A and B are shown apart, each in its own frame.
Chain A
Amino acid sequence: MTIDTPRPLVECRALAKHFGEGETRVDALRAVDLELWPGEVVGLLGPSGSGKTTLLNLIGCIVEPSAGTLCLDGETVWEGKWLRPDLRRLRLEKIGFIFQFHNLLPFLDVSENVALVLDMAGVARADTFARAHELLDYLEVGHRKTAKPSSLSGGEAQRVAIARALANRPRIILADEPTAALDGERAGIVMNLLRKVAVEHSATVVVVTHDEKIWNRFDRIFHLRDGRIASIGTL
């Protein structure tokens, strides 16, 4: 009998990012070490320019690191260079994104917005919509599956965005200010959903936020300042 050793879903070793060179060089992130585990909901907090969005972009493979190592779901994806040629495929397979303003495609209806991710992953058409409907029901917006995003309330749109982020069963969910446009009650509902996703899917949810009303919803809080993790807080 073997026992699986738990391993972090996100692992950053001395991860750094700078923009420009010489006198114009700006160190946006300096040698950050980070491990995020399955089932965790963590917050990245800090003032503007502290590096939290840069860190989210690095983990999301949107921006190339300048130094260090980045491992996602047990796979080293950056170490001096990208080790995967197709980063979009990597994002499609491993990462789900949730945005402040939902970023639902306005020309697709709710179920198509969710099914699109599966369609891009090569899932058969019938299965894409079955999975999309299942997720929408799970997030309690199944009754709006034929609605256009423009007709959804803020809370409904964010739940659809979460459904889209989960469609391809990624184990890393990156959320950028997911509650900024919501009132306290709806923000709480969204955070409950993210918690449910993290627990039931053994996923890591990383949330960049300024929203003080959800600070008590995180397992760990990483405070960033001047491109460094200044402190790590827990509940």
Chain B
Amino acid sequence: MNLALRDIRHHLGRFLMTAVGLGLLLGVVLSMIGIYRGLVADALGLVRAPGAEIWVVETGTRGPFAEGSRIPGDTRESIARLAGVTETGSMTFQSLEATHRDRKLRLQVVGYEPGRLGGPPAIAEGRGLARSRFEIVADVKTGLVVGERIGLGGDVFTVAGTTRDAVSSGGDPVVWMALRDSQVLQFRLSPAPARREAARGPVVSGAPDTINAVVARVAADASIEAVVEAAKRWKHLAAMTEDEQEAILTRSVVEKARQQIGLFTTVLLTVSTVIIALIIYTMTMDKIREIATLKLIGAPDGRIVGLIVQQALALGLIGFSVGASLIASVKDFFPRRVVMLPEDAASLGLVVIVVCLVASGLGVRLALRVDPATALGG
């Protein structure tokens, strides 16, 4: 005869309300984990989008995501000539803020050479860049639609196509444009500084042929490490594999966010433990006379401990299910991506079980100290 189940059934409404309340708290814990996963997925998405195996950047930097990197535009040709390299592409990266339809729009602009490495991984609607200038492919999170026009840095661009889930590590939606457009956008001086530069020396016209990185792919039978070492022989260049680039991004760019979210999650789990402990303690306090009666009529400690621990576990698991269901149903409404992985949910489920066992300790201690004589008299 399961006493825990029967006691829960007896106070079903109160128990479910408590479990739902706990579920909301556990839902917040789960959403924090999901937000962190989303942060990493967003950050890595930009690195993975070009499908590159090698990143070549300015020497002494960990660019182009963790640090600024500027290299000559002809670097791509040099890298393309290395043995084993099959594809290359020049790229620029910059954040900018534009005004569109009377609202501020923060964008991550990626410049690439159409037909080479570095373009959007998949087009959701419309087409990729077909003209050499003044076209963009924008993520749907920008709110831009195919055929729409937007002014960026003094030029007007037409939206040729859209992508999905392409955002920077800061959460800004990505816009792809032709390399030349992005160079103008990034390096062209506005009129006053341009006049000052002209007064200092040779006339600067347009934008310099500078890029932030070169991406490359190597043949299946070639060694990536060998190509990286070959690229490093140019003293003005640094090269790294995609794994190294991802490691830099996760360790440098999202590390603080990870620590912040990790600490917050720990605080929430601690609060959950205290709340579960208090709920179980209160539920045990409410049953002091029943526990004394059980002891008096001969119930062993195992039966009484089972009553409390099983209720704590039921509370935690129902709360966890409520929280997980809630977050799964609302995660798409978050402003930033929330990624719920089955292994994260399973890990949190295990943590909740441990938390419930720890939290039930107070209630168990109280129950074991109840004097059976309490059952006698008024």
Contact = CB atoms under 8 A, between A and B. Distances in A.
A53 B376 contact: yes
A63 B10 contact: no
A56 B376 CA distance: 10
B1 A112 contact: yes
Interface of A: 53, 56-57, 60, 62-63, 86, 88-89, 91-93, 97, 99-101, 103, 105-108, 112, 115-117, 119-121, 125, 148, 164, 176-177
Interface string B1-17: 10100110111000000
27 contacts: A53-B377, A56-B376, A62-B373, A62-B376, A88-B295, A88-B300, A92-B297, A97-B296, A99-B375, A99-B376, A100-B377, A100-B378, A103-B375, A107-B3, A107-B6, A107-B9, A107-B11, A112-B1, A115-B1, A116-B3, A117-B298, A119-B1, A120-B298, A125-B1, A148-B10, A164-B297, A176-B376
A121 B6 CA distance: 19
B361 interface: no
B219 interface: no
B299 interface: yes
A91 B293 contact: no
Contact of B376 (A57, A105, A115): A57
B3 A103 contact: no
Contacts of B100: none
Interface string B358-378: 000000000000001101111
Nearest to A164: B297
B141 to A, nearest CB: 52
Contacts of A99: 293, 375-376
Contacts of A56: 376
Instruction: Identify which of A92, A116, A117 gathers the most chain B CB atoms within 10 Å of its CB.
Output: A116
Nearest to A121: B298
B1 A88 contact: no
Binding site of B, secondary structure by majority: helix, strand, loop or mixed? Answer: helix
Given A57-B373, A107-B290, A120-B299, 13 more contacts: A53-B376, A62-B372, A86-B300, A88-B298, A89-B298, A89-B300, A100-B378, A103-B375, A106-B290, A107-B10, A108-B3, A116-B3, A120-B303
Contacts of B289: 103
Contacts of B298: 88-89, 91-93, 117, 120-121
A176 B293 CA distance: 13
A148 B300 CA distance: 24
Contacts of B6: 107-108, 112
A120 B307 CA distance: 14
Contacts of B10: 106-107, 148
Contacts of A91: 296-298
Interface of B: 1, 3, 6-7, 9-11, 289-290, 293-300, 303, 372-373, 375-378
A92 B297 CA distance: 6
A105 B293 CA distance: 8
Nearest to A108: B6
A101 B378 contact: yes
Contacts of A100: 376-378
Contacts of A148: 10
A121 B293 CA distance: 16
Nearest to A129: B1
Contacts of A164: 297
Contacts of A119: 1
B236 to A, nearest CB: 78
Instruction: Identify which of A86, A106, A121, A177 gathers the most chain B CB atoms within 10 Å of its CB.
Output: A106
Contacts of B3: 105, 107-108, 116
Contacts of A88: 295, 298-300
A177 B377 CA distance: 8
A86 B298 CA distance: 9
A62 B377 CA distance: 14
B137 to A, nearest CB: 63
Nearest to B289: A103
A169 to B, nearest CB: 13
A152 to B, nearest CB: 15
Ranked nearest first, the 10 interchain pairs of A and B with the lowest CB-CB distance are: A92-B298, A107-B10, A107-B7, A103-B293, A88-B298, A91-B298, A119-B1, A107-B6, A176-B376, A62-B373
A105 B1 contact: no
Contacts of A107: 3, 6-7, 9-11, 290
A88 B375 CA distance: 14
A125 B377 CA distance: 32
B88 to A, nearest CB: 73
A56 B373 CA distance: 10
A115 B373 CA distance: 22
B370 to A, nearest CB: 12
A59 to B, nearest CB: 12
B9 to A, nearest CB: 7
A24 to B, nearest CB: 19
Contacts of B373: 57, 62-63
Instruction: Identify which of A93, A106, A107 gathers the most chain B CB atoms within 10 Å of its CB.
Output: A107
A49 B300 CA distance: 31
Given A57-B373, A100-B378, A107-B9, A62 B1 contact: no
